[in-house]
């Protein structure tokens, strides 16, 4: 099993619904977020392009954050989801600096926090909160080992890219382009 | 300057009894809610609601955690308005409940030791003051001199109260400050209005044309969802906007039009469609009136003619016309929503309606469908008294085609003039911050000075509350019942809103406030109920359901009464117009002395050093209603000024630099705004999100954040056809130094 997510940059409107849905679902304190939106404009007026991406932890196959964690709090869970065990985390922040995607933040309760792919929902057969709420239905989630999962199907059909592939982290968040 | 009768007051200057400010929001914000517990649905309960953050009114479920605190709001899968997905504002709607800046208890304006102050009061006291004052003014001037401004669900209760009282001057700024011209134009053309949610069949369209309509930044839920579906299916999007909006970035064609010239573009498109004989002949022959007149009218409006006006190249005009024709009839030239721009808006929307008719999209799949709604009967009451006069008497011969009450018409008629027959003496203001909703603030403030009484009912200390005589804190939609949602869609449905939790602080639902007022005002006979549950249950039983059932399902769909979502082939249709046809040539407009077919009139352009002020929406906000919402300000808490790099260079503006704005009438922005240097806007315009720059310190998260576009909109172009307030003819220049400095220092 290998969980992954694909985000369609052609459909995403950058509304941040995914951000606020994650915040409420996971009780992320105001002022912090596990996912966020990036907008990049290319070109000059009037020849313009705009790429909008909803970003989060890439649940990398080769995660520097897991490797550098001194306590084992950061670890791989079912389906390759990268998680932090809150009571094992000493809040040293090594993982925060090791992540090329800036996907982690120090939770005010003293541990590090990040996207969990909403594993508590996924285990119950639901989709991650961001995927479920998105008004443009631009996010696809599922098991890459299952050819019939939403994410497998869309990756087969569409061109995609990952972010900073040169970092060698083998990210599992795909952007449809 | 004369001492003003109604000083702007800062709330809670004098507290009696002190309201304890519990801070559950902070506990929640810090993750104090069982942080070691995995969130999940097992230990929660949920109650149905429909969202109050915008007019789309998506149905959803409010989930609470095991501590009984509101945890999250999720769309109801059965709801045709939202299909189980709320927009960011709806998802973050719980911030309205948790906002610790909310109005917490009734307040009464009193003069103590020569100083006006707000004094905390009990509900009984406050409602007594309201009832006494309204009844006193009724005796003195007649009931018609009281007007209600409302935006939102609670307004229906206040509307009933006002009608029972004897006035029908009930207005929502959503008409004359927003969608009015569109409704009047479509009514003149098709004999039907667009209404809400818009009856556009985006999900099946092959070509969507957006003129200044920024779907994706306006998160009107169903449309955003369907635009995404249309993108999936390969629809062509054409966006006409001086700004490279999000929608423009999803478009095959972006036409960065020179602002205020849209009618010229539309006429050129109409010209192309007619003179190339690209129009839907069968449809036009069968259903339309006035093709010959129209053909004659647009004869000279060639793409070359329009190029000189719009700056859109002729071949682009031709190509985009062809795109629409190729998609016809599955094409939508979108009527938009906020369309009060230049004062000739009804005529612009007429051009939109006409182009749709030529392409045969009205009544066709992928164009405009025929919506249905399930109405609920009103709870029985004796007939309301007939008012002797209405707002129209104050504007004899004007705005005859307005189909709703014109809010600015009431505001203007509050300022007494010798020939004014209906000067208003009292305002009831519910859920609309008129200071930022109505343009020309000076005029609004002057009108308020002439009032003898104003009561404001709101959840937040919006600017308007500072001018009230009595402030009544309503609870948020999450803490109350309202009438059921019955709005139109492809399938009719009813949605229930019920309280997910007790009202926080000393706040009350509108139905309760109105019921108490009705009693105190001697209007009991019109309200033969004591509790709203009685009313809702009775209403719901009339259509075969009940309050009990609705509490479990939240939304109930009903079959359509007529199987006519689209026209069927060769169907005979009697349109609700004078000619019984779709009127390309409007007999109604002609009868009222207006151009029966749209004409392009040049509008003023900015002087050198000035830029047209454009404004719009942010996806996480509904104007000032959400500007202080903790969840939504977390996403976007301050508007910025979009400036083209060429302009920035001329002025030596840097990204993030704070500047002040001054408009053509010398009005300065109270607060500075940060510059966003971006290629995404024309060099003759600037752009900001509406609803920011609040100057009430009680709005702790939004006070002084960004600038207010409304205060810079002093040139208002009123649409003579229906009274709409055109707000896009204001020009601003930049002040790099703080122009208020001296005042601050002295
Ligand atoms: S909710 Fe969807 S459309 Fe909105 S920003 Fe997130 S991914 Fe994009
Ligand atoms: S994105 Fe960052 S936090 Fe997430 S797995 Fe990769 S390295 Fe770790
Ligand atoms: S579109 Fe958004 S704000 Fe409007 S009613 Fe729906 S969820 Fe609420």
Please say whether the beta carbons of B365 and B201 come within 8 A. yes
Which residues sit opposite B613 in a β-bridge? B686
Residues A67-126 have pLDDT tens digits of: 999 999 999 999 999 999 999 999 999 999 999 999 999 999 999 999 999 999 999 999
Spell A35-63 as b/e; 16+ CB within 10 A means b: bbbeeeeeeebeebebbbbbbbbbbbeeb
Decide which of B622 and B22 is more confident.
B622
Residues A44-63 have pLDDT tens digits of: 999 999 999 999 999 999 99
> Does one domain contain both B577 and B690?
no
Chain B interface includes A124 (CB < 8 A)? yes
Instruction: Give yes or no for residue B277 having a pLDDT over 70.
Output: yes
Instruction: Give yes or no for residue B36 having a pLDDT over 80.
Output: no
Residues of chain B with C-beta less than 8 angstroms from the C-beta of A14: 216, 246, 619
Name the residue among B86, B619, B680 with its Cβ closest to that of A48: B680
> Does one domain contain both B276 and B215?
yes
Angle at B281 between CA B279 and CA B285, to 5 degrees: 125
Cα of B645 to nearest chain A Cα, Å: 9
Please say whether the beta carbons of A30 and B631 come within 8 A. yes
Interface test with A, best of B23, B65, B90, B635 (most A CBs within 10 A): B635
Q: Is B332 part of any domain? A: yes
Phi, psi of B712 (to 5 degrees): -95, -5
Compute the distance between CA of residue B57 and CA of residue B79 in angstroms, rounded to an integer. 10
Which residues sit opposite B239 in a β-bridge? B210, B254
Compute the distance between CA of residue B102 and CA of residue B24 in angstroms, rounded to an integer. 13
> Does one domain contain both B619 and B718?
yes
Distance A66 CA to ligand 2 centre (A): 8
CATH classification at residue B586: 3.40.228.10
**Helix B155-165 / helix B510-520 crossing angle, nearest 10 deg:** 10
- Give me the mean pLDDT over the B500-515 stretch: 97
Q: How confident is the model at residue B8 (pLDDT cuts 50, 70, 90)?
A: low
DSSP assignment letter at A80: G
**Cβ(A104) – ligand 2 distance below 6 Å:** yes
Q: How confident is the model at residue B418 (pLDDT cuts 50, 70, 90)?
A: confident
- Using only C-alpha atoms, what is the Rg of chain B? 26
Q: Is B13 part of any domain? A: no
> Does one domain contain both B208 and B355?
yes
**pLDDT computed for residue A63 by the predictor:** 95
Compute the distance between CA of residue B655 and CA of residue B652 in angstroms, rounded to an integer. 10
> Does one domain contain both B209 and B332?
yes
Compute the distance between CA of residue A19 and CA of residue A27 in angstroms, rounded to an integer. 12
Residues B578-599 have pLDDT tens digits of: 999 999 999 999 999 999 999 9
**pLDDT computed for residue B23 by the predictor:** 29
Q: How confident is the model at residue B417 (pLDDT cuts 50, 70, 90)?
A: confident
Q: How confident is the model at residue B2 (pLDDT cuts 50, 70, 90)?
A: very low
DSSP assignment letter at B387: P
> Does one domain contain both B230 and B362?
yes
% of chain B with per-residue pLDDT over 90: 89
**pLDDT computed for residue B736 by the predictor:** 96
Find the range with the poorest average confidence among B275-284, B434-443, B518-527, B680-689. Answer: B434-443
Question: What domain count does chain B have?
Answer: 2
Domains of chain A are: 3-176 (3.30.70.20)
- Give me the mean pLDDT over the B487-512 stretch: 97
**pLDDT computed for residue B14 by the predictor:** 36
Residues of chain A with C-beta less than 8 angstroms from the C-beta of B700: none
Find the range with the poorest average confidence among B40-54, B78-92, B486-500. Answer: B40-54
Distance B740 CA to ligand 3 centre (A): 38
% of chain B with per-residue pLDDT over 70: 93
Interface test with A, best of B27, B31, B213 (most A CBs within 10 A): B31
Please say whether the beta carbons of B426 and B420 come within 8 A. no
Name the residue among A10, A23, A43 with its Cβ closest to that of B231: A10
SS (H, E, C) B474-510: ECCHHHCCCCCECCCECCCEEECCCCCCCCCCCCECH
Q: Provide the whole-model pTM.
A: 0.93
> Ligand 1 test: best mutation among A6, A16, A137, most atoms within 8 Å of CB?
A16
Residues B351-401 have pLDDT tens digits of: 999 999 999 999 999 999 999 999 999 999 999 999 999 999 989 899 999
**pLDDT computed for residue B423 by the predictor:** 85
> Does one domain contain both B264 and B345?
yes
Structure tokens at B179: 């969608």
Q: Going by CA atoms, what residue is nearest to atom 2 of ligand 1?
A: A134
Closest of B598, B521, B111, B695 to residue B357, by C-alpha: B598
Chain B interface includes A134 (CB < 8 A)? yes
- Give me the mean pLDDT over the B717-735 stretch: 97
Q: How confident is the model at residue B16 (pLDDT cuts 50, 70, 90)?
A: very low
Instruction: Give yes or no for residue B429 having a pLDDT over 90.
Output: yes
Find the range with the poorest average confidence among A18-27, B30-39, B590-599. Answer: B30-39
Give the residue carrying structure tokens 């801070």: B23
Instruction: Give yes or no for residue B24 having a pLDDT over 80.
Output: no
Please say whether the beta carbons of B732 and B651 come within 8 A. no
Distance B550 CA to ligand 3 centre (A): 20
**pLDDT computed for residue B217 by the predictor:** 96
DSSP assignment letter at B38: P
- Give me the mean pLDDT over the B446-468 stretch: 96
User: Domain limits at B341?
Assistant: 182-369+565-591
Cα of B328 to nearest chain A Cα, Å: 24
Q: Is B431 part of any domain? A: no
- Name the closest residue on chain B to residue A21, using Cα atoms: B91
Q: Which residues of chain A from 41 to 100 reach within 8 Å of chain B, CB to CB?
A: 41, 43-46, 48-50, 52, 86-87
Spell B148-178 as b/e; 16+ CB within 10 A means b: bbbbbbbbbbbbbbbbbbbbbbbbbbbbbbb
Q: Is B157 part of any domain? A: no
Whole-number mean pLDDT of chain B?
Answer: 92
Q: Residue B382: CB partners within 8 Å, gap ≥ 6?
A: B525, B526
Instruction: Give yes or no for residue B20 having a pLDDT over 80.
Output: no
Q: Residue B678: CB partners within 8 Å, gap ≥ 6?
A: A41, B642, B643, B644, B645
> Ligand 2 test: best mutation among A69, A169, A172, A174, most atoms within 8 Å of CB?
A169
> Does one domain contain both B203 and B341?
yes
Q: Residue B182: CB partners within 8 Å, gap ≥ 6?
A: B193, B194, B335, B336, B337, B339, B345, B349, B352
Residues of chain A with C-beta less than 8 angstroms from the C-beta of B221: 135
Q: Going by CA atoms, what residue is nearest to atom 7 of ligand 2?
A: A99
**Cβ(A18) – ligand 1 distance below 6 Å:** yes
- Give the closest ligand to the alpha carbon of residue A64: 2
- Give me the mean pLDDT over the B690-708 stretch: 95
> Ligand 2 test: best mutation among A114, A117, A167, A173, most atoms within 8 Å of CB?
A114
- Give me the mean pLDDT over the B244-255 stretch: 98
Cα of B679 to nearest chain A Cα, Å: 5
Instruction: Please return the burial class of B573, using the count of CB atoms within 10 Å of its CB with bins 0-12, 13-18 and 19+.
Output: middle
CATH classification at residue B708: 2.40.40.20
- Give me the mean pLDDT over the B675-686 stretch: 97
Handedness of CA B559, B560, B562, B565 (dihedral sign): negative
Residue B456 — left, alpha, or beta (φ > 0 → left; ψ -120 to 50 → alpha)? beta
**Cβ(A134) – ligand 1 distance below 6 Å:** yes
Compute the distance between CA of residue B270 and CA of residue B302 in angstroms, rounded to an integer. 9
Record: contact B635-A20, CB cut-off 8 A = yes
**Cβ(B495) – ligand 3 distance below 6 Å:** no
Instruction: Give yes or no for residue B741 having a pLDDT over 60.
Output: yes
**pLDDT computed for residue B10 by the predictor:** 52
> Does one domain contain both B575 and B624?
no
- Give me the mean pLDDT over the B505-518 stretch: 98
- Name the closest residue on chain B to residue A17, using Cα atoms: B88
Q: How confident is the model at residue B624 (pLDDT cuts 50, 70, 90)?
A: confident
**pLDDT computed for residue B194 by the predictor:** 97
Q: How confident is the model at residue B746 (pLDDT cuts 50, 70, 90)?
A: very low
Instruction: Return the number of other C-beta atoms located less than 10 Å from residue B386's C-beta.
Output: 7
> Does one domain contain both B234 and B290?
yes
Name the residue among A14, A21, A135 with its Cβ closest to that of B246: A14
Compute the distance between CA of residue B95 and CA of residue B101 in angstroms, rounded to an integer. 11
Record: contact B678-A41, CB cut-off 8 A = yes
Instruction: Give yes or no for residue B551 having a pLDDT over 90.
Output: yes
Q: Is B440 part of any domain? A: no
Closest of B452, B436, B542, B467 to residue B134, by C-alpha: B452
Instruction: Return the number of other C-beta atoms located less than 10 Å from residue A147's C-beta.
Output: 9
Compute the distance between CA of residue B571 and CA of residue A101 in angstroms, rounded to an integer. 59
> Does one domain contain both B574 and B703?
no
Q: Going by CA atoms, what residue is nearest to atom 4 of ligand 2?
A: A57
Compute the distance between CA of residue B38 and CA of residue B71 in angstroms, rounded to an integer. 13
Helix (H, G, I), strand (E, B) or coil at B418: coil
Record: contact B91-A49, CB cut-off 8 A = no
Q: Residue B51: CB partners within 8 Å, gap ≥ 6?
A: B57, B58, B59, B60, B73, B82, B86, B89, B90, B93, B477
Compute the distance between CA of residue B562 and CA of residue B541 in angstroms, rounded to an integer. 22
Interface test with B, best of A6, A12, A13 (most B CBs within 10 A): A13
Q: Is B297 part of any domain? A: yes
Q: Is B35 part of any domain? A: no
> Does one domain contain both B358 and B230?
yes
**pLDDT computed for residue B44 by the predictor:** 62
Rounded to 10 degrees, the C-alpha dihedral A131/A136/A138/A143 comes to 40
DSSP class per residue in B513-553: HHHHHHHHTT-GGG---SSHHHHHHHHHHHTT--HHHHHHH
Counted across chains A and B, CB pairs separated by less than 8 A come out at: 150
Instruction: Give yes or no for residue A159 having a pLDDT over 70.
Output: yes
């Amino acid at each position: 099993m290998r969980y992954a997510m694909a985000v369609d940059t052609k459909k995403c409107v950058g509304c941040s619904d995914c951000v606020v849905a994650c915040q409420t679902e996971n009780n992320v304190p105001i002022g912090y977020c596990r996912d966020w939106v990036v907008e990049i404009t290319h070109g000059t007026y009037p020849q313009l392009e705009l790429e909008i991406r909803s970003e989060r932890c890439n649940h990398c196959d080769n995660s520097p954050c897991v490797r550098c964690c001194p306590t084992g709090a950061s670890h791989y869970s079912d389906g390759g989801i990268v998680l932090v065990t809150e009571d094992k985390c000493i809040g040293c922040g090594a993982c925060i600096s090791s992540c090329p995607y800036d996907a982690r933040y120090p939770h005010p309760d003293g541990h590090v926090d990040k996207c969990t792919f909403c594993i508590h929902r996924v285990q119950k057969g639901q989709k991650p909160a961001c995927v479920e709420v998105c008004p443009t239905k631009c996010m696809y989630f599922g098991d890459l080992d299952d050819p019939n999962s939403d994410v497998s199907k869309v990756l087969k059909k569409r061109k995609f890219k990952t972010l900073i592939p040169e970092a060698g982290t083998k990210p599992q968040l795909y952007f449809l382009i | 300057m004369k001492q003003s009768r109604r000083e702007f007051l800062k709330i809670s200057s004098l507290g009696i009894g002190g309201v304890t400010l519990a801070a559950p929001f902070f506990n929640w914000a810090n993750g104090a809610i069982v942080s070691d517990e995995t969130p999940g649905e097992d230990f929660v309960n949920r109650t149905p609601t429909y969202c109050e953050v915008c007019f789309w009114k998506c149905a959803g479920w409010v989930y609470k955690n095991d501590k009984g605190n509101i945890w999250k709001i999720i769309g109801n899968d059965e709801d045709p308005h939202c299909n189980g997905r709320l927009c960011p504002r709806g998802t973050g709607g719980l911030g309205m409940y948790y906002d610790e800046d909310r109005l917490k208890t009734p307040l009464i304006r009193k003069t103590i030791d020569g100083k006006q102050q707000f004094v905390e009061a009990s509900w009984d006291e406050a409602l007594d003051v309201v009832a006494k004052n309204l009844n006193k003014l009724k005796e003195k001037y007649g009931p018609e001199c009281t007007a209600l401004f409302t935006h939102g669900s609670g307004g229906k209760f206040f509307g009933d109260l006002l009608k029972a009282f004897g006035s029908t001057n009930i207005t929502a700024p959503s008409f004359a400050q927003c969608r009015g011209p569109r409704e009047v134009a479509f009514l003149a053309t098709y004999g039907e209005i667009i209404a809400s949610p818009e009856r556009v069949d985006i999900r099946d369209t092959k070509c969507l044309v957006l003129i200044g309509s920024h779907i994706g930044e306006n998160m009107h839920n169903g449309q955003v969802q369907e635009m995404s579906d249309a993108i999936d299916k390969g629809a062509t999007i054409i966006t006409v906007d001086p700004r490279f909006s999000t929608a423009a970035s999803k478009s095959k064609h972006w036409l960065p039009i020179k602002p205020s010239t849209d009618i010229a573009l539309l006429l050129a498109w109409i010209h192309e469609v007619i003179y190339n004989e690209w129009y839907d002949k069968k449809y036009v022959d069968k259903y339309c009136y006035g093709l010959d007149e129209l053909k004659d009218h647009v004869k000279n409006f060639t793409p070359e003619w329009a190029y000189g006006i719009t700056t859109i190249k002729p071949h682009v005009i031709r190509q985009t016309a062809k795109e629409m024709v190729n998609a016809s009839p599955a094409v939508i030239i979108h009527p938009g929503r906020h369309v009060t721009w230049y004062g000739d808006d009804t005529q612009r929307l007429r051009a939109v309606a006409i182009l749709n008719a030529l392409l045969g999209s009205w009544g066709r799949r992928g164009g405009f469908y025929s919506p249905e709604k399930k109405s609920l009967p009103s709870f029985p009451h004796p007939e309301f008294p007939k008012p002797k006069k209405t707002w129209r008497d104050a504007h004899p011969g004007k705005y005859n085609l307005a189909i709703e009450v014109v809010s600015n018409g009431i505001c203007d008629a509050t300022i007494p003039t010798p020939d004014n027959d209906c000067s208003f003496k009292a305002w009831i203001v519910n859920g609309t911050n008129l200071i930022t909703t109505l343009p020309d603030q000076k005029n609004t403030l002057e009108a308020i000075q002439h009032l003898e009484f104003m009561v404001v009912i709101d959840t937040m200390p919006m600017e308007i509350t500072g001018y009230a005589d009595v402030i009544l804190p309503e609870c948020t939609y999450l803490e109350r019942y309202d009438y059921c949602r019955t709005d139109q869609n492809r399938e009719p449905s009813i949605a229930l809103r019920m309280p997910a939790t007790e009202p926080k602080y000393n706040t009350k639902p509108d139905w309760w406030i109105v019921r108490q007022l009705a009693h105190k005002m001697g209007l009991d006979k019109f309200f033969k109920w004591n509790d709203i549950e009685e009313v809702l249950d009775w209403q719901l039983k009339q259509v075969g359901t009940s309050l009990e059932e609705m509490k479990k399902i939240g939304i109930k769909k009903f079959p359509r009464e007529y199987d006519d979502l689209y026209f069927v082939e060769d169907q005979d249709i009697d349109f609700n117009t004078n000619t019984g046809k779709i009127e390309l040539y409007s007999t109604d407009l002609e009868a009222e002395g207006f151009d029966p077919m749209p004409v392009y009139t040049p509008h003023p352009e900015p002087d050198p050093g000035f830029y047209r002020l454009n404004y719009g929406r942010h996806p996480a906000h509904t104007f000032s209603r959400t500007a202080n919402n903790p969840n939504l300000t977390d996403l976007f808490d301050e508007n910025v000024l979009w400036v083209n790099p060429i302009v920035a260079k001329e002025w030596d503006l840097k990204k993030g630099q704070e500047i002040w704005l001054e408009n053509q009438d010398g009005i300065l922005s109270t607060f500075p705004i940060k510059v966003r240097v971006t290629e995404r806007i024309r060099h003759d315009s600037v752009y900001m999100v509406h609803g920011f720059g609040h100057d009430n310190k009680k709005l702790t998260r939004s006070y002084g954040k960004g600038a207010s576009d409304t205060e810079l909109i002093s040139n208002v172009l009123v649409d003579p056809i229906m009274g709409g307030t055109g707000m896009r003819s204001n020009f601003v220049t930049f002040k790099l130094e703080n122009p208020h400095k001296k005042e601050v220092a002295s």
